[in-house]
Amino acid sequence: RRHLRDSTPASESTAPGTEPNEYQQAVAGEIENLRRLADLLADPAPVERAGELLAASRPLPVLGLRAAASQAFGFSYFAAK
């Protein structure tokens, strides 16, 4: 929480004189993470290369533990096509 408070800018939707609550701070932090990701994706070459490597992998290992098991199953289903 301290890291979120220190690293996220105050939201304009917050009333003057009050700090954003922990949910607002978490959302602001994720928005900043997405902005950084967008900057990193300006060069699509690394993502395309990773896709080529995965597509060439036979078999393609997919691991999904606990809550991620259904996402892994879905990914492996579509990756097999």
For 14, the domain range is 2-40
Q: Which CA distances in Å does 75 have to 39, 45, 68, 70?
A: 26, 22, 11, 9
31 and 57: one domain? Answer: no
Structure tokens at 18: 């009050």
Cα of first residue to Cα of last residue in the chain, in angstroms, is 43
**What pLDDT, on a 0 to 100 scale, did the predictor assign at position 30?**
98
**What pLDDT, on a 0 to 100 scale, did the predictor assign at position 16?**
67
**What pLDDT, on a 0 to 100 scale, did the predictor assign at position 80?**
85
- The proportion of the chain whose per-residue pLDDT surpasses 90, expressed as a percent, equals 63
Number of domains composing the chain:
2
Looking at per-residue pLDDT, the higher value among 25 and 13 belongs to 25
pTM as predicted: 0.53
26 and 10: one domain? Answer: yes
53 and 25: one domain? Answer: no
pLDDT in tens, 35-73: 999 999 999 999 999 999 988 988 888 999 999 999 999
- C-alpha–C-alpha distance, residues 4 and 20, integer Å: 10
- C-alpha–C-alpha distance, residues 4 and 61, integer Å: 35
Contact 20, 28 (CB under 8 A): yes
